[in-house]
Amino acid sequence: MNSTTGTKRGIVMPERTLRQILDEYFSLGIKDQIDWEKFYLYSIITHSTAIEGSTVTEVEAQLLFDEGITSGKRTIVEQMMNLDLKDAYEYGIKWIRQHPEITVDSLINLSAKVMARTGSEYHTISGDFSAAKGELRKVNVSAGIGGTSYMAYQKVPAKLEAFCNELNQRRKDIDLSDIISIYNLSFWAHYELVTIHPWVDGNGRMSRLLMNLLQWEFNLIPSKVLREDKAEYIQALIDARENEDDSIFVSFMMSLHTRHLQEEIEQFNSSMNDSHAD
């Protein structure tokens, strides 16, 4: 599968397969650097919350996570959002590596961790529910002011159950030697979950979390959505939804991941050249 990317952020990428780029990534030993996994995870978390409005930087997140040092420049809510997502990822990585069945209850449990410190209680004519407990929404929601509405809340439980069943079957049937199919599965799961929109808040973080956990389950390098990617990322979701074609989003995410890995290779090579010059 060749990936070319012409975007607002950069120049069209060379036509190189993701597999070729991953081979180079591993051959260079980028993943073998000290604390690579920790800082890669911190980057994923910081950028995922940034998509939702957090202004916490990667350096600030590192100080918060490792030293418990908060930033006076950021709100408490922003910093709690990052702490919650860190807890959710750390729990989720251990959980997914046991290859469990993914159920509605397990997704609710993950959502409760994502929203633990920032989730609100809701009191509606349809009943009370808590975002902090990961409970499914009992209200209808739309994609922003004037945006199209997501499915009626009454349909969410059954749709989420069907999604889990299909996801589990796809996980069982996946060819472990075909990394493209595994990435495609993770991107499909992201799109389906955010389209169902089971919660009143945290759907984006949850969908990216599930995507990354599926990648961790099969020992892939997890994909990032950087804060700089936000506009084109949201547009890809809109385009896929309006055209009822999930392949639009899957293809976008494949190109985005390929581009990010290529950029990391270039940054690594540049840093190595600088160190040799010294």
Measure the CA–CA gap between 263 and 210, rounded to whole angstroms.
24
Q: Name the pTM for this structure.
A: 0.92
CA 143, 145, 148: angle at the middle one, nearest 5?
A: 40
Taking Cα atoms as reference points, which of 64, 56, 55, 69 lies closest to residue 87? 64
Measure the CA–CA gap between 274 and 94, rounded to whole angstroms.
37
Provide the residue-wise pLDDT of the chain in tens; the chain has 278 residues.
333 333 334 333 434 688 899 999 999 999 999 999 999 999 999 999 999 999 999 999 999 999 999 999 999 999 999 999 999 999 999 999 999 999 999 999 999 999 999 999 999 999 999 999 999 999 999 876 667 789 999 999 999 999 999 999 999 999 999 999 999 999 999 999 999 999 999 999 999 999 999 999 999 999 999 999 999 999 999 999 999 999 999 999 999 999 999 999 999 999 888 665 55
Three-class SS of residue 125?
A: coil
For the residues of 27-79, what is the DSSP string, one character each? HTTGGGSTTHHHHHHHHHHHHHHHHTT----HHHHHHHHHH----TTS-HHHH
